[in-house]
């Protein structure tokens, strides 16, 4: 198969960004890692991005990107172009060993603001990687109806992420727009007007997202009441082809609706199914129960959605006032049906603290991700998953190279100075923090992530560069 031109550029930019970021972090974490100093300057004054690219080739695009960022100079810079070959019959492997280095010498350039990148610095031969032949076009997911409750402002923050998984899929998303809580700046927040809702809705639809914005069913509902009302709202808006009613949070992200749909195939929608994921944290499971945790997505088959709609008023009437949204769904199901949870651990509530690298870098393909914006650690899932446009389910696939470097596609590049041979790659690196349950055998995340391996010391045993941007 011939390499695809567009593919080359995207893959290369992805890499470049990752490495550029690195630089930033290397300075703080491991000053010994920076290589050759080469005089260079990112383009002439006034040169635009296209011009730079024309004169410098693929290297130029990255340089133009660098000039737009506010990274601290000097910047340590490395670049490698990747060409992917979609290979029919090739399975997505958790880790693939490549016998050449990711960055042949010299792999690092140190750029300062006044210097110029030489063309010869970008003359590295492209790397060819074989990837599974998964489609990169949007799937027809018209059988899926999603529902969420959020404010207009939060919806705006999440729009780039929602656009990535929802646009042009024929799946529908119903969003109940709630009024933001009062705060210092806004003591009496007003609900958005119907005009505001319809203006926003048409903006979103113009971008290919089949989104319907709705006011809450009742005035003065609490958030959890609105959340539970999605059961009724999704039922009201169902169409003959709707198979799945899916309740999500505004920060739930789906790397591939295609993969999600095929995961649901074994569960016929005319039978009652409640599908989701337990929290990764045993403590949360012990606290809340065997339920589909909301952030990972709550999947109700058409048959179960029908039953829950019948019990909607009953469940609302008997609801424990402090119950959370996903907990309300659980209470209603356990009290009025004999349906039990189907747990799919590849859906992720991401109920973990600290550095989530160990989850993103475990080589598995996640069906949902959540909490990409945690304040302390941000995970730009919309940028990270752009690499799916190039090679579908290659997102978060891992390749390890002879220079003790591992590429986790779309997330990170890490160097392991003590070598990569002794590392148990099948076990997730326990970089995260999670609560434990006293006297429980389960140390915290076994039921979800499996038994892990000890976290490495960043900057010494593992030098990690995280993706910050892609385009
Ligand atoms: C998606 O599938 C549905 C049901 O088969 C069909 O009615 C609809 O036209 C399809 N949409 C697209 C864009 O192909
Ligand atoms: C279960 O349903 C019954 C009958 O509707 C109700 O009286 C009871 O309070 C419910 N229990 C819980 C825990 O919600």
The tens digit of pLDDT for each residue in 343-390 reads 999 999 999 999 999 999 999 999 999 988 765 558 999 999 999 998
Contact assessment for residue 276 and residue 344, using Cβ atoms and an 8 Å cutoff: yes
pLDDT tens for each residue of 16-64: 333 432 222 222 222 222 222 222 333 444 455 555 555 555 555 566 6
Closest atom of ligand 2 to 332 CA is 14
Contact assessment for residue 23 and residue 77, using Cβ atoms and an 8 Å cutoff: yes
More confident position, 413 or 79? 413
> Does residue 460 register a pLDDT over 50?
yes
Mean pLDDT to the nearest integer, 198-202: 98
E strand spans, 178-227: 210-214
Q: Which ligand is nearest to the CA of 239?
A: 1
Q: Which ligand is nearest to the CA of 142?
A: 1
Contact assessment for residue 124 and residue 58, using Cβ atoms and an 8 Å cutoff: no
Q: Which ligand is nearest to the CA of 169?
A: 1
More confident position, 414 or 76? 414
pLDDT tens for each residue of 86-108: 999 999 999 999 999 988 755 45
What the block records as the tokens of 364 is: 């598995």
> Does residue 423 register a pLDDT over 90?
yes
Contact assessment for residue 357 and residue 464, using Cβ atoms and an 8 Å cutoff: yes
Three-class HEC string of the chain: CCCCHHHHHHHHHHHHHHHHHHHHHHHHHCHHHCCCECCCCCCCCCCCHHHHHHHHCHHHHHHHHHHHCCCCCCEEECCCCEEEEEECCCCCCCEEECCCCCCCCCCCEEECCCCCCCHHHHCCCCEEEEEECCCCCCCCCCCEEEEEEECHHHHHHHHHHHHHHHCCCCCEEEEEECCCCCCCCCCCCCCCCHHHHHHHHHHHHHCCCEEEEECCCCCCCCHHHHHHHHHHHHHHCCCCCCCEEEECCCCEECCCHHHHHHHHCCCCCCCCCEEECCCCCHHHHHHHCCCCCHHHCEEEEHHHHHHHHHCHHHHHHHCCCCCCHHHHHHHHHHHHCCCCEEECCCCCCCCCEECCHHHHCCCCCCCCEECCECCCCECCHHHHHHHHHHHHHHCCCEEEECCCEEEECCCEEEECCCCCCCCCCCCCECCEECCCCCCCCCCCCHHHHCCCECCCCECCCEEEEECCCCC
CA dihedral sign of residues 442, 448, 452, 456:
negative
Across the strands, what pairs with 253?
A: 369
What the block records as the tokens of 258 is: 């295609």
What the block records as the tokens of 358 is: 């160990």
What's the gap in Å between 332 CA and the centre of ligand 2?
A: 9
Mean pLDDT to the nearest integer, 227-254: 98
> Does residue 10 register a pLDDT over 70?
no
pLDDT tens for each residue of 426-459: 999 999 999 999 999 999 999 999 999 999 999 9
Q: Residue 415's closest CA among 399, 430, 404?
A: 404
What the block records as the tokens of 180 is: 């933001």
Q: Whose CA is nearest to atom 5 of ligand 1?
A: 142
> Does residue 5 register a pLDDT over 50?
no
pLDDT at 233: 98
pLDDT at 126: 82
> Does residue 184 register a pLDDT over 90?
no
Task: Assess whether the C-beta atom of 314 lies below 6 angstroms from ligand 2.
Answer: yes
What the block records as the tokens of 322 is: 């402090």
Torsion, Cα of 41, 44, 49, 51 (10° steps): -120
Ligand 1 surroundings by CB, under 6 angstroms: 140, 142, 170, 241
Task: Assess whether the C-beta atom of 331 lies below 6 angstroms from ligand 2.
Answer: yes
pLDDT tens for each residue of 306-355: 999 999 999 999 999 999 999 999 999 999 999 999 999 999 999 999 99
What's the gap in Å between 142 CA and the centre of ligand 1?
A: 7
From the number of C-beta atoms within 10 Å of its C-beta (0-12, 13-18, 19+), residue 96 rates as: middle
Closest atom of ligand 2 to 319 CA is 14
Alpha helices (H) in 88-140, listed in sequence order: none
pLDDT tens for each residue of 115-135: 555 555 566 678 899 999 999
Mean pLDDT to the nearest integer, 217-237: 96
Q: Residue 33's closest CA among 468, 459, 466?
A: 459
Ligand 2 pocket mutation pick from 308, 316, 335 by most atoms within 8 angstroms of CB = 335
Cβ atoms within 10 Å, residue 270: 10
pLDDT at 57: 53
> What percent of the chain has pLDDT above 90?
68
At residue 219 the predicted structure's pLDDT band, cuts being 50, 70 and 90, is confident
Strand pairing report for 172-177 and 144-150: parallel
What the block records as the tokens of 236 is: 């009201």
Q: Whose CA is nearest to atom 9 of ligand 2?
A: 318
Q: Which ligand is nearest to the CA of 315?
A: 2
What's the gap in Å between 319 CA and the centre of ligand 2?
A: 8
Closest atom of ligand 1 to 140 CA is 1
Closest atom of ligand 1 to 241 CA is 4
pLDDT tens for each residue of 55-89: 555 555 566 666 666 767 766 677 787 888 999 99
Q: Whose CA is nearest to atom 1 of ligand 1?
A: 140
CA count, 13 A, side-chain hemisphere, 36: 11
pLDDT at 469: 82
pLDDT at 58: 52
Task: Assess whether the C-beta atom of 335 lies below 6 angstroms from ligand 2.
Answer: yes
The C-alpha atoms of residue 249 and residue 465 are separated, in whole angstroms, by: 29
Through-space distance between the first and last CA atoms of the chain, rounded to whole angstroms: 25
């Amino acid at each position: 198969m011939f390499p695809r031109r567009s593919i080359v550029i995207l893959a290369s930019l992805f890499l470049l960004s990752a490495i550029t970021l690195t630089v930033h972090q290397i300075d703080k974490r491991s000053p010994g890692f920076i290589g050759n100093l080469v005089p260079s300057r990112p383009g002439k004054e006034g040169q635009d991005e296209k011009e730079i690219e024309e004169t410098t080739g693929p290297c130029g695009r990255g340089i133009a990107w660098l000039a737009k960022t506010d990274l601290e100079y000097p910047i340590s810079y490395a670049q490698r172009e990747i060409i992917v070959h979609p290979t029919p019959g090739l399975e997505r492997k958790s880790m693939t060993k490549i016998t050449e280095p990711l960055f042949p010498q010299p792999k690092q350039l140190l750029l300062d603001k006044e210097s110029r990148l030489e063309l010869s610095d970008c003359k590295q031969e492209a790397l060819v990687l074989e990837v599974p032949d998964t489609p990169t076009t949007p799937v027809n997911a018209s059988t899926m109806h999603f529902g969420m409750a959020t404010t207009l402002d939060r919806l705006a923050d999440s729009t780039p992420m929602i656009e990535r998984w929802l646009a042009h899929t024929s799946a529908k998303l119903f969003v109940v727009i709630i009024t933001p809580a009062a705060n210092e700046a806004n003591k009496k927040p007003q609900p958005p007007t119907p005009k505001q809702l319809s203006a926003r809705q048409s903006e979103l639809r113009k971008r290919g997202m089949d989104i319907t914005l709705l006011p809450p069913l009742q005035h003065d509902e609490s958030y959890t009441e609105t959340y539970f009302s999605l059961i009724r709202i999704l039922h009201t808006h169902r169409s003959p082809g709707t198979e799945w009613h899916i309740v999500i949070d505004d920060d739930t992200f789906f790397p591939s609706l295609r993969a999600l749909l095929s995961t649901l195939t074994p569960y016929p929608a005319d039978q009652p199914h409640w599908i989701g994921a337990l929290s990764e944290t045993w403590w949360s499971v012990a606290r809340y129960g065997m339920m589909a945790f909301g952030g990972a997505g709550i999947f109700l088959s058409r048959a179960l959605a029908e039953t829950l709609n019948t019990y909607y008023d009953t469940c609302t009437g008997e609801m424990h006032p402090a119950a959370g949204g996903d907990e309300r769904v659980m209470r209603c199901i356990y009290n009025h049906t004999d349906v039990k949870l189907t747990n799919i651990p590849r859906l992720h509530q991401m109920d973990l603290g600290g550095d989530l690298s160990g989850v993103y870098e475990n080589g598995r393909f996640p069906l949902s991700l959540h909490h990409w914006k945690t304040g302390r650690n941000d995970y730009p899932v919309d940028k990270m998953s752009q690499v799916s446009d190039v090679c579908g389910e290659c997102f978060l696939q891992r390749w390890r190279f002879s220079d003790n470097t591992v590429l986790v596609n779309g997330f990170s590049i890490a160097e392991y100075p003590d070598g990569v041979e002794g590392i148990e790659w099948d076990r997730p690196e326990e970089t995260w923090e999670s609560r434990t349950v006293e006297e429980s055998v389960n140390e915290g995340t076994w039921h979800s992530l499996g038994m892990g391996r000890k976290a490495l010391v960043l900057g010494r045993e593992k030098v990690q560069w995280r993706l910050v941007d892609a385009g």
